[in-house]
Chains A and B, each alone.
Chain A
Amino acid sequence: MDIIHVENLSKKYEHFNLDNLNLTIPTGSVVGLVGANGAGKTTLIKLLLGMIKKDAGNIDIIPKEEIGIVLDDAFLPELLKINDINIIMKNIYKNWDEKKFQEYLKKFNLINNVTIKSLSKGMKKKLEIATSLSHHPRLLILDEPTSGLDPIVRGEVLDLFREFMESDDHSILISSHITSDLENIADSIVLMNNGKIILNESMIKIMDNYGIIHCTKEIFEELKDNALNYRQNKYDYEVLIANKKELKKKYKELNIDKANIDEMMYLLVRGEKE
Chain B
Amino acid sequence: MKGLILKDLLILKNQMRNILIVIIGFILLSIWMENYFYIAFVIPFYIVMLVISAFSYDDLNHANTYLVALPTNRKTIVKSRYVLCVLSIITALLIGLILSLIIPLINQDMDFISTFASTTASILGVVFVIALLIPFFYQFGVQKGRVVLFIAIMGISLLIGFIISVFENSGLNIASFFNKLEKLNYIVLILIVISIISLILYFSYLVSCKIYKKKEF
Task: Using CB atoms and an 8 Å cutoff, list the residues of chain A in contact with chain B.
Answer: 46, 49-53, 63-65, 69, 71, 73-81, 84, 87-93, 115
B14 touches A81 (CB 8 A): yes
Count of interface residues, chain B, beta-carbon cutoff 8 Å: 25
Bound-state CA distance A49–B74 (Å) is: 13
Contact B69 A77 (CB under 8 A): no
Q: Is the CB of B70 within 8 A of A79?
A: no
Task: Please report whether the interface of chain A is mostly helix, strand, loop or mixed according to DSSP.
Answer: loop
Of the candidates A65, A73, A87, the one whose C-beta lies within 8 Å of that of B10 is: A87
Residues in chain B near residue A115, CB distance under 8 A:
14
Bound-state CA distance A260–B58 (Å) is: 40
For B68, the chain A residues whose CB sits under 8 A away are 49-51
CB-based contact B10/A92 at 8 Å = no
Tell me the chain B residues, 8-59 only, with Cβ under 8 Å from chain A.
Answer: 10-11, 14-15, 57-58
Q: List 8 A-B contacts (CB under 8 A).
A: A63-B71, A64-B70, A71-B66, A77-B61, A78-B57, A78-B61, A84-B7, A88-B10
State whether A88 and B6 are in contact (beta carbons under 8 Å apart), knowing that A51-B217, A65-B71 are contacts in the complex.
yes
CB distance from B104 to the nearest CB of A (A): 38
Residues in A whose Cβ lies below 8 Å from that of B15 = 79
Which residues on the A side are within 8 Å of B91 (C-beta)? none
When the two chains form their complex, are residues A84 and B10 in contact, meaning their CB atoms are under 8 A apart? yes
Are A88 and B7 interface neighbours, CB within 8 A? Answer: yes
CB-CB nearest in chain B for A51: B217
Known A77-B7, A92-B72; 19 more pairs at CB < 8 Å: A46-B217, A49-B68, A49-B69, A51-B65, A53-B216, A63-B71, A71-B69, A74-B61, A74-B69, A75-B62, A75-B63, A77-B11, A79-B57, A87-B6, A88-B3, A88-B10, A91-B2, A92-B3, A92-B71
CB-CB < 8 A to A71: which residues of B?
Answer: 65-66, 69
Residues of A within 8 A of B65 (CB): 51, 71, 73-74
Kindly list chain B residues whose C-beta atoms are within 8 Å of the C-beta of A84: 6-7, 10, 14
Alpha-carbon separation in the docked complex, A79 to B61 (Å): 10
Report if B191 contacts A (CB, 8 A).
no
- Minimal Cβ-Cβ distance residue in B for A11: B216
